Structure 1
Amino acid sequence: MSSVSNTLIGFLNLLTLLASIPIIGGGLWMAKSTATCESFLQRPLMVLGFVILLISLAGFIGACFHVVWALWVYLVVMLFLIAALLAVTVFGFVVAGPGGGVEVPGRTYREYHLQNYSPWLRKRIENPNYWMTVRSCILGSKACAKIVTWTPVDYWTRDMSPVQSGCCKPPSACNYEAPMMTQDADCYKWNNDPNMLCYECDSCKAGVLEDVRRDWHKLSILNIVMVMLLIGIYFVGCCAFQNAKKADSYYPHGQSVMYKTRPKWNFY
C-alpha cells in the first residue's frame, strides 16, 4: 500500500510536469503575438507554468526516490498554490461578474456600456497608458478590417464580436441628422478614418472589457477544476510524504542487504 501512493504521486506529477510545458509555451507565444489583445494573461500564465513545472519536478523526485525534503517542499508550495488559485478564482468571479451586452432591436449583435462593468475593470481600462497599448493591439489585430466590406444587410443579420461592436462603428442609437447635443457622447467621438473609427469611444473600452469578462469566466471555471485536482494530488502527496518519512526512520543509514544466505564465518 505504501508503494501505491508513491507510484501514483510520481505518475501524476510526471503528467503535470509535461502539462506545464505547453502552458509556458502559450505564455511565450502570447508575448510575441500581435493577433491577441489578451496580453494581461501572459505573465500569470507563464508564472503558473513555471510553478507547476518546479513543484511537479520536486514531487516526482521525492515520491520516486523517497526524498523527504523534496516532498516537504512540494507539499508546502502546493498548499500555497491551492490557496492562490482559490483567491484568484474568487477575485475573478467578483470582478468579472457585472457586465454583458444590451440587445439592439432588429440586430443580431449586442452593444456594450462601460458603466455596466466593475469599478476595478473600469479604472484599469480608463488608464491612458494601458488603453494606448490595448488600442494599438486592436489596430494590429485588424478586427475592424474584417467587417469593412459588410453591406447594410450584413449589419442587420450578422453577428459581431464585442470589440467589433464597440470599436468599429458608432452606437446604433446615433442619428447624425438630429441635433448631436442630445445624443451619446460616443457619437461625437466616431470618425470614419480607419485609424480613428470609435477607438476612443467608451463603447470600445466596454467591448474590450466584455472580452476580458468572458475570458475570466472561462479561467475561473478552469481554476475550480484545477483546485479540485490539486487537492486530490495534495492528499496523495501527504501519504507519499509519510511513507518516505517511515522509510527514512527505519533505515537512517541506508538499507543494508545480505547477499549470502549462509555466510562463511571461518575464513581459514
Structure 2
Amino acid sequence: MAVSNSITAILNFVAMMCSFPIIAAGVWLASRADNECLLWLRWPLVFLGFAFLIVSAAGFVGAYWKKEGLLAVYLVAMFILIVVLLVILVLAFVVTRPAGGAGFKEYRLEGFSSWLRDHVTGVGSWGKIRACLAASQICPKLAHKFVSAPHFFAAHLSPIQSGCCKPPLMCGLQYSNPTTWLGESNMGGGSDCGLWSNDPSQLCYNCDSCKAGVLGNLREEWRKANIILIITLVLLIWVYLIACSAYRNAQTEQLFRRYKQGWV
C-alpha cells in the first residue's frame, strides 16, 4: 500500500503543477486591456486553476499521510473539475472559428455562436459593456498612434478597435484621423452607417460591428489560451486515471492484507 500511496502522492504533486498553467492563462486573459469591459469572463479560469491547486494539494496530503477518506474526496472533486475544464474548452471552441481578411478586419455578428452573441449583445449586457468601452482608452489611443491614412489602413487593429473605433468601410466615409471620418455616409452600407458618430463618447459603440468586434476579441484570445488548456487537460486526465488505478490497487492490497490477517 505504501508504494501505491507514494505513486498517488507523486501524481498529485504533478497535478498541482498542472494547475499553474491554468492560473497563468486566466491571469493573462484577465490582464488584457481589451477584456476590461467583460468582467464575467476575466476570472473564471483563475478560480478554476486555484480549485485544481487546492484539490491536488488535498490529494497529495491524503496520499502522503495515508488519509484514504481524503483521497476518495480528492478523486471525486478532481473528476468534477476536469469535467468543468472540458466544458469550458468546448464552449471556447464554439467561438474560435477563424475569420478571413487582410490588414484590419470587418466583423459581422453572423460569424459567431448564437449563445455567446445573445449573452454579450443582449440589452442588459451590452449597455454596461458599451459604457465601459466609451470610458476606456481603447479608441482614443488610436488618434495618437496613427498619423496618416496609409499607416492606418495597413495597421493590424484589434477586433474591438476595428469594430468600435471606426465606421465600417462600406459606409464610404473619408478618413481624417482614426476616430474622425468625414463626408456623407452611404446608408445602403447597412444600419451601422447611420449609427456612426465622430463624438468620442459615441463613435460606433452602438454598432453591430462593435458588438462583433468584442466577440472577435474573445475569439482571438481564447484561441491562444486554448492551446495551454488542452495540453494541461490531457496531462490532468492522464494523472487522474493513474491516480485512480493506484487508489484502487491500494484498496485491493488493503483488503488482501485484512483477509490474510483473518479480519474478513
Corresponding position: 1:164 with 2:170 = no
- Compute the displacement of 1:211 (Å): 0.7
Larger Rg, first or second structure (1 or 2): 1
Counterparts of 1:21 and 1:90 in 2: how far apart (Å)? 16
Distance 2:15 2:142 in 1: 46
Count of residue pairs the alignment pairs up: 244
Give the letter aligned to residue 133 of structure 1.
K
Task: Confirm or deny: 8 A CA contact 2:85 2:233 kept in the other structure.
Answer: yes
Residue among 122, 129, 145 paired with 1:127: 122
Aligned to 1:234: 240
Distance 2:74 2:16 in 1: 13
Match of 1:110 in 2: 105
CA distance in 1, matches of 2:224, 2:34: 22
**TM-score, length-scaled by structure 2:** 0.78
Task: Please list, as runs of the form range in 1=range in 2, the aligned pairs for 1:85-234 lying within 5 A after superposition.
Answer: 85-93=85-93, 95-98=94-97, 100-103=99-102, 108-149=103-144, 150=146, 151-176=148-173, 180-234=186-240
Percent identical: 36
Query: Is the 2:196–2:204 contact (alpha carbons within 8 Å) kept by the matching residues of 1?
Result: yes
CA distance in 2, matches of 1:179, 1:188: 7
In structure 2, C-alpha distance between the alignment counterparts of 1:72 and 1:179, rounded to whole Å: 66
C-alpha contact 1:16 1:56 (8 A) present in aligned 2? no
2:67 aligned partner: 67
Q: TM-score, normalised on structure 1?
A: 0.77
Contact 1:166 1:203 in 2 (8 A): yes
Task: Give, as a single letter, the amino acid of the residue that structure 1 aligns with 2:91.
Answer: F
Say whether the 8 Å CA contact 1:86–1:227 is kept in structure 2.
Answer: yes
**C-alpha contact (below 8 Å) 2:27/2:43 kept by paired residues:** no
SS class of match (2:169): coil
CA shift at 1:190, angstroms? 0.8
Contact 2:164 2:207 in 1 (8 A): yes
Q: Residues 215 and 179 from structure 1, CA distance in 2 versus in 1: closer, same or farther, beyond 3 angstroms?
A: closer
The superposition leaves residues 136-155 of structure 1 with CA deviations (integer Å, 9 ceiling, x where unpaired) of 33234311111113222322
Higher mean displacement: 220-229 or 35-44:
35-44
Gaps in structure 2 of 5+ consecutive residues: 174-182, 260-264
Shift in Å, 1:200: 0.7
Give 1:88 deviation, angstroms.
Answer: 2.6
